[in-house]
Structure 1
Amino acid sequence: MAKGTNQKLKLVYLMKILLEKTDETHSITMPEIISSLEAYDITAERKSIYADMEALRTYGMDIIGEQKNKTYYYHVGNRQFELAELKLLVDSVQASKFITAKKSNELIKKIEGFASKYEAKQLQRQVFVTERIKTMNETIYYNVDKIHAAIGTNVKIKFQYFQWNVDKKMELRHGGEFYYISPWALTWDDENYYLIGFDSEANIIKHYRVDKMLKIELTEDKREGKEHFTQFDMAVYAKKMFGMFDGEEQTVKLEFENRFAGVVIDRFGKNVTVIKTDEEHFTVNVNVAVSGQFLAWVIALGDGSKIVGPESVVSRMRKEIERLNRIYL
């Protein structure tokens, strides 16, 4: 039997064939393996393929052979990712506002590469990227990479920050001046990616939407604010922020009807202290950034929720209700 031009790649292509054409519910026979190798201009005999499959098993591939009606069928069992895990990754990419539609489709295509061609079809059937609200900033990947590089090398970054105007055009904030920030962490909240950093000029921790950052550059200045992040807890920080809107951090006392216990635990965590006030109500004291978004969250819960204190926050809620009355009544 004459050897094909890709003979030295036989083991690689055998692995490719098994990974692409088999899974827990799809198998391949030896004649089909030989035919598939021939499609790559590789000739092989059964004996050599048996030896190659044994080598792949030694490498770590879970190649399973089963006999049915005098015919052996082969398939890959355990993979690097289970189908359920791949579906979870696809769902995460779909849900991420900070990834553009174009990049989402590219990523999902790569994720499909970890599955057989049959499982890849299942992943494709649940892809609904086109109609989702996605960022329009194509530099998001490079932004994240630069921020990680700055954190890794312990330097500040500078960047421009923008918002969308009524003409659907980018409008630079602060007149286009660069922000100089010490980056300390990245977090994903409310389907968006945020940089958590220290603003030396204001001497406070701030956060920025990564997809709204432009022209990120690493500086030669060392990061500042380490003392603020020594005991920093990202989960606690995220719980204080509502939709990542800034506000003055205060301890607020809230009263709820018992039916909202699940809502409160989902928002503030299972460790929140719940104090029963009567058979139908309970109160909690929570540290939050008091913003319009926080007030809107309380209002959205309806009659079953109320801000009890402090008076400054109660007064702010009254003013918010008056504002809404002026608009809608």
Structure 2
Amino acid sequence: MAKGSNQKLKLMYLFKILMENTDETHSISMSDILLKLKDYGITAERKSIYNDLESLRQYGVDIVGVQRDRTYYYNVANRQFELAELKLLVDSVQSAKFLTTKKSNELIKKIEGLASKYEASKLQRQVYVTKRVKTMNESIYYNVDNIHTAIAGNRQIRFQYFQWNIKKKMELRHNGEYYRVSPWALSWDDENYYLVAYDDTEKIIKHFRVDKMLHIEITEDKREGKECFSEFDMAVYARKVFGMYSGKEERVKIHCENALAGVIIDRFGKDIIIVPDGDEHFNVNVNVVVSKQFIHWIMALGDGATIVSPQYVVDDVKEEIKRLCEQYNV
């Protein structure tokens, strides 16, 4: 058998050919396999390909051979990711605000590489990244990597934080002074990526949009706030916090119409205790971080939801209503 320059890579190229050109509904003949190998500078006999196919099967690749007329056709029947799962990954990348358009397209291209060329074309038809609202901070990947490194190394970080001004320019907050915090978790909330950290100066937990962090540096100082995070559950915490805005955590009682049961469960989970109050209403006590965002979430539910206690939260609602009336000259 003649030897091509890439002969030692024959098995790897065979795997590549099968993964790119076959799936559950598309197969390839032995003749086409030999031709495609030849394009890679590899010559082979049919018998050697049969042996290679068997080696791939033993490795765990689900290769199926089916005879049609006098020709055998081969395909990879099952892959690590099903097409529906790849579509879900593409949707997640598309909807992630914290990813730039460029980085989103790069990731989607890599996801397409997990499918055959036929399935990849189906993924391409659902790509609508260019008109999505996306971050403009290309350093997001490095930010996430630095934060994970700091968490793993039990180290504090320092960074600058910015906001957009009316001229659509980056404007550093705190006059450009560096923030110094102890990173403990990352959370994806409302299509944005947030750092959850402990501020030792103010002795509170704070949140920062990862795509608005600049020049992250890992310091030699060990993290603070261990006692706050010793039993920290990110999923439970996310249910309490609205829009990732900080505030005082409080046990709040809400009076709701029965029709809002699904809304309350979707927000706070099935572990809450719903207490019927008459035939058309119920009461529920939930732990929330009280902020204007929480108050406006309640307001958005209309007359179907009313905060009952504690009184200072009820007073905060009244003050916000008063402020809105003044703002709109009601």
> Shorter-chain TM-score category?
over 0.9
Alpha-carbon distance between aligned partners in 2 of 1:55 and 1:249, rounded to the nearest angstrom: 59
Q: In angstroms, what is the RMSD of aligned CA positions?
A: 1.1
| 1:111-147 CA distance string (max 9 Å, x none) | 1111000010111111111111111110000000000
Alpha-carbon distance between aligned partners in 2 of 1:205 and 1:159, rounded to the nearest angstrom: 16
Q: Which letter does structure 2 place at the counterpart of 1:247?
A: G
Q: Which letter does structure 1 place at the counterpart of 2:4?
A: G
**Share of identical aligned residues, percent?**
67
Shift of 1:148: 0.6
Shift of 1:326: 2.1
Alpha-carbon distance between aligned partners in 1 of 2:248 and 2:255, rounded to the nearest angstrom: 20
Alpha-carbon distance between aligned partners in 2 of 1:159 and 1:284, rounded to the nearest angstrom: 41
Shift of 1:70: 2.2
Q: Which letter does structure 2 place at the counterpart of 1:64?
A: V
Alpha-carbon distance between aligned partners in 1 of 2:108 and 2:34, rounded to the nearest angstrom: 31
Q: Which letter does structure 2 place at the counterpart of 1:109?
A: K
Q: Are residues 1:316 and 2:279 paired? A: no
SS at the partner of 1:157? strand
Counterpart of 2:224? 224
Shift of 1:207: 1.5
Alpha-carbon distance between aligned partners in 1 of 2:196 and 2:249, rounded to the nearest angstrom: 16
| 1:232-257 CA distance string (max 9 Å, x none) | 11112111111111222222111110
Alpha-carbon distance between aligned partners in 2 of 1:319 and 1:276, rounded to the nearest angstrom: 29
Alpha-carbon distance between aligned partners in 2 of 1:264 and 1:274, rounded to the nearest angstrom: 10
Greater Cα shift, 26-35 or 56-65: 56-65
Q: Which letter does structure 2 place at the counterpart of 1:297?
A: W
Alpha-carbon distance between aligned partners in 1 of 2:190 and 2:157, rounded to the nearest angstrom: 24
Counterpart of 2:180? 180
SS at the partner of 1:197? strand
Counterpart of 2:82? 82
Counterpart of 2:70? 70
Counterpart of 2:327? 327
Q: Which letter does structure 1 place at the counterpart of 2:216?
A: I
Given that 2:207 and 2:245 are in contact with CA atoms closer than 8 Å, whether structure 1 keeps it comes out as no
Q: Which letter does structure 2 place at the counterpart of 1:20?
A: E
Structure 2: unaligned runs, 5 residues or longer: none
> TM-score when scaled to structure 2?
0.97
Greater Cα shift, 292-301 or 258-267: 292-301
Greater Cα shift, 232-241 or 256-265: 232-241
Q: Are residues 1:44 and 2:15 paired? A: no
Q: Which letter does structure 2 place at the counterpart of 1:139?
A: S
Q: Which letter does structure 1 place at the counterpart of 2:254?
A: L
Shift of 1:214: 0.6
Shift of 1:4: 2.5
| 1:228-280 CA distance string (max 9 Å, x none) | 11111111211111111122222211111000000000011101111111101
Alpha-carbon distance between aligned partners in 2 of 1:5 and 1:238, rounded to the nearest angstrom: 56
SS at the partner of 2:61? coil
Greater Cα shift, 6-15 or 155-164: 6-15
Shift of 1:34: 0.8
Alpha-carbon distance between aligned partners in 2 of 1:190 and 1:102, rounded to the nearest angstrom: 21
Alpha-carbon distance between aligned partners in 2 of 1:144 and 1:129, rounded to the nearest angstrom: 21
| 1:257-315 CA distance string (max 9 Å, x none) | 00000000001110111111110111111121111111111111111111112221111
| 1:74-130 CA distance string (max 9 Å, x none) | 000121211111111111111111111100000000011110000101111111111
Alpha-carbon distance between aligned partners in 2 of 1:25 and 1:186, rounded to the nearest angstrom: 40
SS at the partner of 1:325? helix
Given that 2:98 and 2:134 are in contact with CA atoms closer than 8 Å, whether structure 1 keeps it comes out as yes
Alpha-carbon distance between aligned partners in 2 of 1:85 and 1:144, rounded to the nearest angstrom: 24
Moved beyond 6 Å, runs of 4+:
none
Q: Are residues 1:57 and 2:65 paired? A: no
Counterpart of 1:124? 124
Counterpart of 1:169? 169
SS at the partner of 1:135? coil
Q: Are residues 1:12 and 2:9 paired? A: no
Map 1:68-147 onto structure 2 (within 5 A): 68-147=68-147
Counterpart of 1:243? 243
Counterpart of 1:189? 189
Alpha-carbon distance between aligned partners in 2 of 1:133 and 1:288, rounded to the nearest angstrom: 29
Alpha-carbon distance between aligned partners in 2 of 1:271 and 1:2, rounded to the nearest angstrom: 69
> TM-score when scaled to structure 1?
0.97
Alpha-carbon distance between aligned partners in 1 of 2:56 and 2:233, rounded to the nearest angstrom: 44
Structure 1: unaligned runs, 5 residues or longer: none
Map 1:19-38 onto structure 2 (within 5 A): 19-38=19-38
